[in-house]
């Protein structure tokens, strides 16, 4: 649904340069002014919402003598894939990409997803931290291919990379990150 609001006139003014000195003498006592106006407008989009349906869970990992990375990829479906590199080993098999339901009021001409550059995870009951970075997203309609998706929610999947320090202190780490969706 499109909303258009006229906001009024901006008060743009056109100022003309003064005439040459000879012309000023012949127009002595006369003043001239010219003005131009423009219309300002805005479109208010209603009905855009985002709801978290699943947290980003990077799973259990085992820190080693050297730093490493754990990546949750989102290209292989809702669960995604998980991999480790450097001095980190995967432990256990439970993990998940973050998942959000994005709902629009009709067919969105364009949706833009903004992700953070990084987020900090802090150890519960301690001061140690780890960094989550390289956030990536995949946004797709939740309806079947070839069907009308008007009003159907989109599924937004978010994966990321966790940086784990050498001999990282064991425990549960948690933090938050913010995802923003704009409709154009």
How many degrees, rounded to 5, is the angle at CA 79 between CA 74 and CA 82?
A: 65
Q: How far is CA 2 from the centre of its chain?
A: 22
- What letter would DSSP give residue 144? P
Give pLDDT tens digits for 144-168. Answer: 555 555 556 889 999 999 999 999 9
pLDDT band at 14 (very low <50, low <70, confident <90, very high): very low
Q: How far apart are CA 77 and CA 138, in angstroms?
A: 10
Q: How far is CA 154 from the centre of its chain?
A: 15
Q: How far apart are CA 181 and CA 107, in angstroms?
A: 15
Q: Are residues 133 and 110 in the same domain?
A: yes
| pLDDT computed for residue 97 by the predictor | 93
The alpha carbons of the chain give a radius of gyration, in whole angstroms, of 28
Q: Are residues 53 and 126 in the same domain?
A: yes
Q: Are residues 146 and 79 in the same domain?
A: yes
pLDDT band at 65 (very low <50, low <70, confident <90, very high): very high
Partners of 165 in beta bridges: none
Q: Are residues 171 and 101 in the same domain?
A: yes
Q: Are residues 34 and 103 in the same domain?
A: no
Q: Are residues 37 and 102 in the same domain?
A: no
Domain that holds residue 8: 4-43
- H helix or E strand, kind and range, residue 182: strand 180-183
Q: Are residues 27 and 65 in the same domain?
A: no
Q: Counting beta carbons within 10 angstroms of the beta carbon of residue 105, is it exposed (0 to 12), middle (13 to 18) or buried (19 or more)?
A: middle
Q: What is the reported pTM?
A: 0.72
pLDDT higher than threshold 60 for residue 1:
no
Q: Are residues 84 and 159 in the same domain?
A: yes
């Amino acid at each position: 649904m499109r909303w258009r609001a006229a906001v009024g006139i901006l008060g743009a003014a056109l100022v003309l340069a003064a005439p040459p000195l000879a012309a000023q003498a012949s127009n002595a006592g006369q003043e001239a002014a010219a003005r131009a106006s423009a219309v300002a407008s805005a479109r208010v989009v209603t009905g855009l919402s985002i709801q978290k349906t699943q947290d980003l869970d990077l799973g259990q990992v085992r820190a080693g003598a050297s730093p490493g990375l754990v990546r949750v990829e989102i290209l292989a479906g809702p669960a995604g894939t998980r991999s480790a590199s450097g001095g980190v080993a995967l432990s256990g098999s439970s993990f998940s990409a973050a998942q959000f339901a994005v709902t629009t009021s009709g067919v969105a001409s364009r949706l833009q997803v903004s992700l953070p550059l990084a987020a900090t995870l802090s150890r519960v009951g301690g001061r140690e931290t780890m960094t989550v970075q390289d956030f990536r997203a995949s946004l797709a309609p939740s309806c079947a291919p070839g069907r009308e998706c008007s009003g159907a929610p989109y599924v937004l999947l978010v994966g990321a990379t966790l940086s784990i320090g050498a001999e990282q202190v064991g425990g549960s780490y948690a933090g938050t990150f913010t995802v923003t969706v704009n409709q154009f």
